[in-house]
């Protein structure tokens, strides 16, 4: 449950974490642009030290519940610690129905220039079965309020393969989405996780098990319709109008450095070190009060792990992985080290080689985990 005093304390400690940030090792600072994640509940700064930051992402919860003054504190902390560039992409996640026109106008005035929210479906019955608190009207209102507040870069997501969802219903979802014409669309095939109410409902027969073949057909329809409307399929689960790729998220897939602050925030130095913060809010605050740091998990990747990540993260991008660049970075030719796997995937139509690029096909994007597992 939201607590204003706790939120104020959290923002204060989060701002302190940002302002007191230091690189992993002495002398680690570089001039490579990066990103910052500001978490209310996960703030990531697109960073590297020099430090030029060209993306900031406020996500990992409902950061739109922040007051404009709290957001100003956090963005001020990021600007005091990092060289935030003039063309910075600042994204804020939000839930439909949790923002007002005045709040959105204030966020926009503070520099937030990209919004991302979970529409998930425009069918109110499906939203209710998912346990979502918003309605399709909330989604439409939120979108139009964002436009009225001056947001010209808006993203929302849709979920395919919901229990009882029909192909015609999915097409109506797409009609609604393309009529709004957001600059960016994320789409996901429903995953049922153990321990969730949905998993319990499916097990007890309250809701039917999702139809995987139908979900695959929905995926195909989505890509066909998106292309007709001018959207580019640039990452397994992401579409955009030309020039509106998520600059921040692209860094995760291409191995760029990023630095996260707040509960459960994750960071990567772009080379071999990953680390994460405490997930629990109370313990995060305690650690910050006692140690000025909330790090609880630090990992040094081996060369083999770095190479594997470069392949399976890079293949998430539909443009593919450069074989020459991979060999330059790691001294290994994938065509030799994974000859049998590549032959098998080529014959199955899951990958293709286009010049120097190894990339997933549309069928491969649907079965990407099978492809990725060969490189882990």
pLDDT in tens, 222-231: 999 999 999 9
Interatomic CA distance for residues 151 and 114, integer angstroms: 7
Among 44-53, 117-126, 234-243, the minimum mean pLDDT is found in 44-53
pLDDT at 203: 65
Mean pLDDT score, 86-102:
94
| Separation CA 217–CA 77 (nearest Å) | 46
Percent of the chain residues topping a pLDDT of 90: 75
Tokens standing for residue 342: 């590549």
End-to-end Cα, the chain, rounded Å: 40
pLDDT of residue 45: 58
282 in Cβ contact with 264 (< 8 Å): no
Place of tokens 């220039």: 113
Determine what percent of the chain is predicted with pLDDT higher than 70: 87
Confidence of residue 38 (pLDDT cuts 50, 70, 90): low
Q: Which run of H or of E encompasses 178?
A: helix 167-180
**Tens digit of each residue's pLDDT (9 = 90 or more) over 106-165:** 999 999 999 999 999 999 999 998 888 899 999 999 999 999 999 999 999 999 988 888
| Largest pairwise CA distance in the chain | 60
- Is it the case that residue 67 has pLDDT exceeding 60? yes
Q: Of 141, 50, 48, 38, whose CA–CA distance to 90 is shortest?
A: 38
Lowest-confidence region among 18-22, 59-63, 210-214, 303-307: 210-214
Which range is least confidently modeled, 61-65, 133-137, 183-187, 280-284? 61-65
pTM metric for this prediction: 0.89
* pLDDT per residue as tens digits for the range 184-221: 999 988 665 566 655 565 566 666 566 678 888 999 99
Q: What is the pLDDT of residues 296-317, one digit of tens each?
A: 999 999 999 999 999 999 999 9
Which pLDDT band holds residue 80 (cuts at 50, 70, 90)?
very high
Sheet with 351-354, strands from edge to edge, namely: 321-322, 357-360, 351-354
C-alpha span between 342 and 364 (Å, rounded)? 12
pLDDT band for position 29 (50/70/90)?
Answer: very low
Q: Which CATH architecture has domain 304-373?
A: Orthogonal Bundle (1.10)
Task: Quickly name the fold that domain 4-253 has.
Answer: Transcription Regulator spoIIAA (3.30.750)
What is the DSSP secondary-structure string of 80-97?
Answer: HHSEEEEEEEEEEEE-TT
**Residue 336 burial class via C-beta count within 10 angstroms: exposed 0-12, middle 13-18, buried 19 and up:** exposed
Answer with the residue of higher pLDDT: 31 or 199: 199
- Average pLDDT rounded to a whole number, residues 4-31: 78
pLDDT value of residue 268 = 95
- Output b/e per residue, 263-302; b: 16+ Cβ within 10 A: bbbbbbbbeebbbbbbeebeebbebbeeeeebeeeeeebe
Q: Mean pLDDT across the stretch 51-63?
A: 91
The region of weakest confidence among 30-34, 63-67, 162-166, 343-347 is: 30-34
With CA atoms as reference, report the closest residue to 113 among 57, 59, 68: 57
Count helices and strands in the chain by DSSP H and E runs: 16, 16
Residue 182 main-chain phi, psi, to 5 deg: -70, 160
Q: Mean pLDDT of all residues in the chain?
A: 89
Mean pLDDT of all residues in 248-265: 95
Tell me how far apart the alpha carbons of residues 233 and 368 are, in angstroms, rounded to a whole number. 15
The residues with which 268 forms a beta bridge, in sequence order, are 258, 274
- Alpha-carbon Rg for the chain in angstroms: 21
Closest CA to 91 of 245, 284, 278, 237: 245
In this predicted structure, the answer to whether residue 242 has a pLDDT above a threshold of 90 is yes
Domain spans, the chain: 4-253, 304-373
What is the pLDDT confidence band of residue 177, given thresholds at 50, 70 and 90?
A: very high
């Amino acid at each position: 449950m939201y607590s204003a005093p706790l939120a104020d304390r959290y923002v204060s400690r989060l701002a302190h974490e940002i302002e007191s940030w230091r690189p992993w090792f002495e002398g680690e600072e570089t001039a490579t642009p990066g990103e910052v994640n500001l978490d209310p509940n996960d703030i990531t700064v697109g960073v590297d030290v020099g430090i030029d930051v060209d993306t900031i992402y406020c996500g990992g919860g409902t950061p739109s519940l922040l007051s404009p003054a709290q957001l100003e504190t956090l963005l001020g902390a990021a600007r005091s610690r990092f060289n935030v560039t003039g063309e910075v992409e600042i994204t804020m996640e939000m839930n439909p129905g949790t923002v007002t026109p005045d709040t959105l106008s204030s966020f926009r005035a503070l520099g937030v220039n990209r919004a991302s929210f979970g529409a998930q479906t425009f069918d109110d019955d499906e939203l209710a079965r998912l346990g979502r608190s918003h309605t399709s009207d909330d989604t439409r209102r939120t979108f139009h309020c964002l436009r009225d507040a001056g947001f010209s870069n808006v993203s929302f997501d849709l979920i395919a393969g919901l229990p009882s969802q029909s192909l015609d219903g999915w097409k109506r979802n797409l009609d609604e989405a393309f009529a709004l014409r957001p600059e960016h669309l994320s789409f996901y095939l429903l995953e049922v996780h153990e321990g969730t109410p949905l998993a319990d409902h499916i097990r007890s027969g309250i809701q039917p098990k999702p139809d995987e073949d139908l979900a695959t057909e929905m995926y195909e329809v989505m890509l066909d319709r998106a292309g007709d409307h001018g959207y580019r399929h640039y990452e397994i689960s992401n579409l955009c109008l030309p020039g509106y790729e998520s600059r921040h998220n692209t860094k995760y897939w291409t191995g760029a450095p990023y630095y996260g602050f707040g509960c459960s925030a994750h960071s990567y130095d772009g080379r071999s070190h990953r680390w994460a913060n405490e997930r629990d809010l109370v313990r995060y605050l305690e650690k910050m009060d006692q140690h000025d740091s909330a790090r609880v998990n630090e990992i040094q990747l081996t060369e083999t792990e770095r190479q594997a990540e470069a392949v399976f993260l890079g293949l998430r991008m539909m443009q593919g992985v450069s074989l020459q660049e991979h060999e330059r970075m790691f001294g290994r030719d994938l065509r030799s080290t994974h000859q049998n796997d590549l032959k098998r995937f080529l014959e199955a139509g899951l990958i293709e080689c286009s010049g120097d690029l190894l990339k997933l096909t549309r069928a491969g994007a649907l079965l990407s985990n099978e492809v990725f597992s060969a490189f882990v």
